């Protein structure tokens, strides 16, 4: 069942990304063909259906592939001055067009230009697309495991109940916080929706900026995640690929790109499936030993999906001794 979660809130008052050196944009049309082709091979429809036998009919295989195809055309550069001043540039690989979709009003102020500058580039076309079949399968197993746990509605140990729920069960709370850049619209609720339970108005707005280049698409209609399965899957891929505050991207963790510092190692943070659980729901499930049921369920799902791909992974799968991300 879906657990109550502590979610990262993106926006003007909250730090978004763990920033890495900027990368140059490489605008090449073949990315789309390569990404789509790899997914039809990586996860054929028959296998997808077998892994999610009780899924809601809303979550179709074609909608998942379409979400992968759409986001394969998007690259985002997030620049920051100091902790809270952002500029987001979105690139469409099909046209080569770069568009500034967010630039905070203080970005060009002289005092802001004296702040520490950092930048990260996110290529959503790299989702499970590292040109190495086993690495791609391992990432997809980790993604499916987290998705299955977040959307399950059945019995432990059956591994057949993923993608059954489109939203969290408790919709009473609004999940609204004050946010200058991504304000909640009157009457809208931003509770968890989609395969990875996108929550809070700040996250809806930031995801909308990155995915569509328009913050209002999801801010004004958060129920799009319940009406359009492609949109729903797109938000899950976005969440998987995008660093959050000091949290690295799940994509970078499972592929070994993220390397912990000595200070991070002292907190028990190490690359592996356990750190992804920490990213998603660490305050609830991590640093509480090895018997926490939700954490164990995520791990069990991961092992189940790994076996489906003929893989094994036993390194750093638990977050039982990891300090939660703040």
d(C-alpha 122, C-alpha 306), whole Å: 26
Q: What is the CA radius of gyration of the chain?
A: 19
Give the HSE-up count for residue 306: Cα atoms under 13 Å, Cβ half-sphere.
19
Residue matched to tokens 């750190």: 275
Annotate 100-112 with b (16+ C-beta within 10 A) or e (fewer): ebbebebbeeeeb
Residues 6+ apart with CB under 8 A from 191: 167, 168, 170, 171, 173, 174, 175, 199
**Nearest of 120, 133, 324, 152 to residue 241 by alpha carbon:** 120
Q: Active-site residue 23, yes or no? A: no
Both tokens of 24, joined, read: 């140059």
Single out the catalytic residue among 150, 168, 234, 285. Answer: 150
d(C-alpha 144, C-alpha 49), whole Å: 12
d(C-alpha 108, C-alpha 105), whole Å: 8
User: What separation in angstroms does the CA of 122 have from each of 17, 155, 279?
Assistant: 11, 37, 17
Residues marked active site are found at 150
């Amino acid at each position: 069942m879906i657990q109550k979660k502590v979610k990262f809130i993106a926006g003007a008052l909250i730090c978004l990304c763990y920033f890495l050196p900027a990368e140059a944009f490489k605008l090449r049309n073949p990315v789309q063909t390569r990404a789509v082709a790899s997914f039809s091979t990586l996860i054929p429809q028959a296998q997808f259906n077998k892994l999610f036998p009780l899924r809601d009919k809303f979550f179709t295989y074609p909608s998942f592939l379409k979400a992968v195809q759409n986001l394969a055309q998007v690259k985002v550069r997030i620049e920051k001055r100091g902790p809270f001043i952002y500029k987001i540039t979105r690139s469409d690989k099909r046209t080569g067009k770069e568009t500034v979709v967010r630039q905070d009003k203080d970005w060009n102020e002289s005092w802001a230009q004296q702040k520490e500058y950092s930048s990260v580039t996110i290529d959503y076309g790299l989702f499970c697309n590292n040109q190495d079949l086993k690495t791609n399968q391992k990432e997809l197993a980790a993604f499916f495991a987290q998705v299955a746990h977040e959307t399950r509605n059945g019995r432990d140990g059956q591994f057949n109940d993923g993608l059954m729920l489109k939203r969290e069960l408790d919709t009473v709370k609004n999940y609204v916080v004050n946010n200058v850049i991504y304000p909640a619209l009157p009457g809208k609720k931003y509770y968890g929706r989609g395969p990875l339970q996108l929550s809070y108005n700040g996250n809806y707005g930031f995801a909308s900026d990155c995915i569509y280049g328009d913050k209002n698409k999801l801010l004004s209609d958060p129920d799009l995640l319940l009406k359009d399965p492609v949109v729903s899957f797109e938000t899950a891929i976005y969440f998987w690929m995008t660093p959050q505050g000091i949290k690295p991207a799940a994509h970078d963790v499972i592929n070994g790109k993220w390397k912990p510092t000595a200070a991070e190692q002292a907190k028990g943070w190490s690359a592996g499936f356990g750190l992804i659980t920490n990213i998603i729901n660490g305050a609830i499930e991590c640093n509480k030993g090895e018997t926490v049921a939700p954490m164990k369920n995520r791990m069990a799902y991961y092992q189940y999906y790994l076996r489906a791909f003929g893989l094994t992974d036993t390194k750093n799968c638990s977050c039982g001794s990891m300090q939660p991300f703040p």
